[in-house]
Amino acid sequence: MRGANSRLVLFDVDGTLISTGGRAGAAFGEALQHVFGCRGPIEGYRWAGKTDPLIARELMLAAGVEPAVIEANLPRLFARYLENLSAALAPGTVTVLPGVLPLLDELERRGVAMGLLTGNVAAGAEIKLRVAGLAGRFRFGAYGSDSADRNLLVPVALERAREALGREFRAEHTVVVGDAEADIRCARAGGALAVAVASGWTPRAVLAALHPDALLDTLEPPPALDAILGV
Ligand SMILES: [Mg+2]
């Protein structure tokens, strides 16, 4: 087991820390409708592990919107989405998933460095976590607003960790915790360890097929803490 001091733990947001019960997806869909006049094939769309800009591009390309039009309107789309999200997420509408609070408490108590690695645009993650009561738990993060390609986000998170905490972290001592195949792939792409948790939309067997370093059903502490600190 590595010392807690050298370990960096990066959490995905949706399906890993919290659930908005579909409210964020609805807010995103309304923003697409408002800005582009259509939602694309949003019914049955697989959101898991995708960054917000990738979701917008995939749905609008499928709807036949020109790539240049999509790119030019992304700032308007995210402005509308964030307005919708703030309105949709009243207090009590965001569920913190099982084990998250005691796990974060225990990691904090041990002085383990923690940040976010999420496909959310930064302001979207901030709104969701604030409504969930998790504001202030994470001092830095790498977001969908940093790159549409999640596989590029581990190095961004390492840099943010250095800026926020004033010390260097290494990819091989970094653990990416997430509920989707894309979380495991981005950990691998960045040279980090992958702890998968089957608390979101992706079945456990699908996660297992990608051979994460550890695979959990929930983030309930004894097993989750052992997995995160022990891999
Ligand atoms: Mg997720």
The CATH number for 72's domain is 1.10.150.240
Tell me: do 103 and 214 sit in the same domain. Answer: yes
pTM: 0.95
Has residue 2 been placed in a domain? no
Instruction: Answer yes or no: do 108 and 205 share one domain.
Output: yes
Q: What is the chain's mean pLDDT, rounded?
A: 96
Span from the CA of 50 to the centroid of ligand 1 (angstroms): 8
Number of domains in the chain: 2
How many Å lie between the centroid of ligand 1 and the Cα of residue 179? 5
Q: Which residues surround ligand 1, an ion (CB under 5 A)?
A: 12, 14-15, 179-180
Residue 31 banded pLDDT, cuts 50, 70, 90: very high
The range of the structural domain enclosing residue 190 comes to 8-19+95-230
- pLDDT band for position 1 (50/70/90)? very low
Judged against a pLDDT cut of 90, whether residue 174 lies above it is answered with: yes
Assess whether pLDDT exceeds 60 at residue 2.
no
User: What is the band of 200 on the pLDDT scale with cuts at 50, 70, 90?
Assistant: confident
Provide the pLDDT confidence category of residue 5 given band limits of 50, 70 and 90.
Answer: confident
Residue 144 lies in a domain: yes
Is residue 197 assigned to a domain?
yes
Quote the ligand 1 centre to 197 CA distance (angstroms).
9
- Residue 3 within any structural domain of the chain: no
Q: Are residues 14 and 30 in the same domain?
A: no
199 and 181 share a domain?
Answer: yes
Whether the per-residue pLDDT at 58 is higher than 90: the answer is yes
pLDDT computed for residue 4 by the predictor: 61
CATH code (residue 178): 3.40.50.1000
Residue 1 lies in a domain: no
d(CA 13, ligand 1 centre) in Å? 6
Report the separation in Å between the CA atom of 199 and the middle of ligand 1, taken as the mean of its atom positions: 9
Dist. CA 65–CA 54, nearest whole Å: 14
Distance (Å, rounded) from C-alpha 224 to C-alpha 133?
A: 21
Look at residue 3 and tell me whether its pLDDT is greater than 60: no
Examine the pLDDT at 231 and tell me if it is beyond 90: no
